[in-house]
Amino acid sequence: MTSSMPRSASEKRRLAAFLAALAFFLSAVEYMLPRPVPFMRVGLANLPILFAVELLPWGWYLALALVKVAGMSLLTGSLFSYVAVFSLAGTMASALVMRGLYALAGPKAISWVGLCVAGAVASNLTQALLARVIVFGESARYMIPAFLGLGLVSGLVLGVFAELFSARSAWLAGVRGRRDGQA
Amino acid sequence: MNAGPGPRFRLKVLDAAIILAAAGAFAASAVAVYGGPAPSRAVISSERGEWTYPLGTDRVVSVDGPLGPTLVEIRDGAAFFIDSPCRNKTCLSSGHAEHAGDWIACLPNGVFLRVEGESGDDQLDATVR
């Protein structure tokens, strides 16, 4: 993982649009995957947000997270239900934690694996907290072990995949290369 | 240009700290939730209240949520959802709750089922909280 930001406004716009489309596509893929455990998601649609941590500035980054929530809610038919509030809260918590950790620690102190695990756990805990406040009350504490465990496992899987992808991706190398060429 | 650490990447200090913290929190919460006494009762809650039923008595319970009635069956020491007015029916595919700490939730209809350990009122037929 390295620090890379596109310089021109048009490049930022194109990159944000591409990552948003990718998030939409991965949401559709994830929706089709069978789940061994209800509530379990690998979090494929979070991959564009993860890479955007180093590729997009804050404004575009948060816009990408919002588009991902809207896309996933459209696909699952939950856009106008309070289920979408859970998706929004979880995604924003994850996005803010990953971006905040990256900003504070930098790529030399943390890898995609740490960012992924922290983001997944933050997302799941936020949703469990929201479930306690909005829907299930005190009973929601029973969800916490499962949500923590699933967040840890899915974060590790996605983080390792991101590391392997990052090392081999010609696209990512190209984006970073354009940045380096312009710097 | 640095294209990343490659397939032989090594965890960094903060990665290890985050993973250990998450694993520790998982273990502590699992002990708190699953480490209780043997399972003996199903507790069903919705926006209308909370009801407790012994797992030893077979029955079907209807619980009203904002979308309509959710049906929960208690049979052979386990509790599970058998019908729900929600769209995705995730709760119906959640399997059986039979161990202390097991739970099944229907988020759209706001119905939560959990299994708890023994308590003083387990000899009662059903209780409302």
Residue A167 belongs to what H/E stretch?
helix A144-168
Indicate the domain borders of chain B: 39-128
A181 near B CB under 8 A:
no
What's the pLDDT band for B5 if we cut at 50, 70, 90?
A: very low
pLDDT tens for B64-80 read 999 999 999 999 999 99
How many angstroms from the chain centroid is the CA of residue B5?
A: 40
Nearest CB to B11: which of A113, A141, A143?
A: A113
Amino acid code (one letter) for B124: L
pLDDT band with cut points at 50, 70 and 90 for residue A65? very high
A119 contact B CB<8A: no
A109/B14 Cβ within 8 A: yes
User: Residues of A with CB below 8 A from B93's CB?
Assistant: 38
Please say if the pLDDT value at position B2 is more than 50: no
**CATH classification of B39-128 is 2.60.40.420, yes or no?**
no
Phi, psi dihedrals of residue A31, rounded to the nearest 5°: -65, -30
Torsional sign, CA A76, A16, A44, A148: negative
- Considering only residues A31 and B55, tell me which one the structure prediction assigns the higher pLDDT: B55
Chain A residue at shortest CA distance from B44: A139
Q: What is the CATH number of domain A9-31+39-177?
A: 1.10.1760.20
Q: Taking residues A21-27, what's their average pLDDT?
A: 91
Q: Does A163 touch chain B (CB under 8 A)?
A: yes
CB contact under 8 A, B114 and A142: yes
Q: Give the separation between CA A2 and CA A63, rounded to whole angstroms.
A: 22
Please give the backbone phi and psi of residue A7, each rounded to the nearest 5 degrees, phi first: -90, -45
Task: Give, in order, the Cα–Cα distances in Å from A24 to each of A44, A122, A162.
Answer: 10, 22, 18
Type of residue at B64: D
**Domains in chain A: boundaries:** 9-31+39-177
Query: What local confidence, expressed as pLDDT, does residue A180 receive?
Result: 60
Residue B45 pLDDT greater than 70, yes or no: yes
Cβ-based contacts under 8 A for chains A and B: 125
Measured between alpha carbons, how far is A152 from A148 in angstroms, rounded to an integer?
Answer: 6
| This prediction's pTM | 0.82
Task: Provide mean pLDDT across the span B80-100.
Answer: 90
A111 interaction partners in chain B (CB closer than 8 Å): 5, 9, 11-12, 15
DSSP state of B6: -
What radius of gyration do chain A's Cα atoms show? Answer: 16
> How close is the nearest chain A Cα to the Cα of B82, in Å?
15
| Closest CB from B6, B7, B29 relative to A144 | B29
Residues of A numbered 14-33 whose beta carbons fall under 8 angstroms of chain B's beta carbons: which are they?
none
Tens digit of each residue's pLDDT (9 = 90 or more) over B8-22: 678 899 999 999 999
Residues facing B75 on adjacent strands: B78
Q: Where are the beta strands (DSSP E) in chain B?
A: 39-46, 49-54, 59-65, 68-75, 78-83, 103-106, 111-117, 127-128
Residue B65 pairs in a beta bridge with B68
Pick from A148, A164, A173: which is nearest to B22 by CB? A148
Tell me how far CA of residue B128 lies from CA of A135, B2, B49, B122, in angstroms: 19, 63, 8, 13
What pLDDT does A100 receive? 96
